Amino acid sequence: MEPDKEQLAMLRRSVREWNAWRSENPEIRPNLEGATLCGVALTGANLSGANLVNANMVNADLSGADLGDANLGDANLRLSILYRADLENSNLFGADLSRANLHAARLARATLSVTNLTGTDLEETNFDNAILDDTNFSDVDLSGVKNLDKVIHDGPSTVDWRTLERSGQLPPKFLLGVGFPQIFIDSLPSLIDASRKDPQCFISYTHADGEFAKKLYDDLVNQGIRCWLDSEELQSGDYTRRKIHKEIRDRDRVILVLSEESIQSDWVRREVEWARNKEIEEYDDKVPVLAPIRITEGVLEAIDRLADDASKKWAKYLKKHRHIGDFRGWCFEKKYQAALARLTCDLQGDQVEKFKQQPGKL
């Protein structure tokens, strides 16, 4: 079935015109089945009761839209903005809402069976009596969800370790409903507490140094140090800047790979600035989030040549105030392994956990 062409053209043309038409024709249920509305600004649109089955709404802005009683079965709302949207009683069976912004949206009594909520912003979202069955809650923070203990479980759902770790204490009733055994739920607080004591690192580098960064990532992960590397973790469609900023905020340390190429990179500069903000704002500048290492000859000399470049002050700061680990000659396995052992020891003896345990901290 195809969408009503006149209705679709009107919606694309003007939300104000669309809403006026809906007010004048409340008995008409809009037919937008299979409509393409990618990236369309639909802020405040009255889509209540609309047939949006199989609609493609990737990157659409539906902030404040009324989607109550709408049928969004198998719709693609990936990366869409549904801030404060009304989705009460709507059918979202099989819909892809991965990495969408559903902040403060109303999902009361919505059907969320087989719905993909991977990486979705669910802060303050109301799930009162929402229906779950094979719903995917991977890599989401559920700590701010409202009425999570009041959802209806028609079957088990997917909740991965990233979600458990980010969400903290969740209602036991919800965890039982998605399929976790009671013995696991009882052990969960201690498991999460233990995992948070392990170092978590972000690897900042320029792609010219990608071979080294990937080798370092693999070796640290093999030693039980959880790392984030864009080439391994970024997914198609991710907002790169937003995702990287978030990952730096969530990690204990930022391993900064310094080469003559990386100190010229605006991306590296931005990542250093975010890490420095974390050091100052979260740790009173008493804990080094940044862990700089140099992998090529001439890095320190290159930094000295940047004396008049205001955008490279971060590099001069690191040279003056931080010890820079030495991975020069990393292509030689013996040298690399010795430098890796020193770095691993530094990361595992991290000061972050000690700072968190001080009275009144975090």
Q: DSSP letters along 235-303, please? A: -TT--HHHHHHHHHHH-SEEEEEE-TTGGG-HHHHHHHHHHHHHHHHHHTT-S--EEEEE-STTHHHHH
Q: What is the pLDDT of residue 221?
A: 87
Q: What is the pLDDT of residue 198?
A: 59
Residue range 211-254, pLDDT digits in tens: 999 999 999 988 878 888 887 655 544 446 777 888 888 888 99
Q: What is the pLDDT of residue 199?
A: 63
Domain coordinates in residue numbering, the chain: 1-196, 199-356
* Domain 199-356 CATH superfamily: Toll/interleukin-1 receptor homology (TIR) domain (3.40.50.10140)
Q: What is the pLDDT of residue 194?
A: 66
Task: Look at residue 227 and give its three-state secondary structure.
Answer: strand
Specify the residue for token string 């469609």: 237
Helix/strand/coil percent split, the chain, to 5: 40, 15, 50
Q: Alpha-carbon torsion 232, 233, 235, 241, what sign? A: negative
Specify the residue for token string 């869409």: 80
Q: What is the pLDDT of residue 237?
A: 47
Specify the residue for token string 């969530």: 250
Low-confidence stretches of the chain (pLDDT < 50) are: 236-239, 351-352, 355, 357, 359-362
Asked, colleague to colleague, whether 1-196 and 199-356 share their fold, the answer is no
pTM here?
0.66
Residue range 75-119, pLDDT digits in tens: 999 989 999 999 999 999 999 999 899 999 999 999 999 999 998
Say which CATH topology domain 1-196 has: Pectate Lyase C-like (2.160.20)
For the CA atoms of the chain, what is the radius of gyration?
24
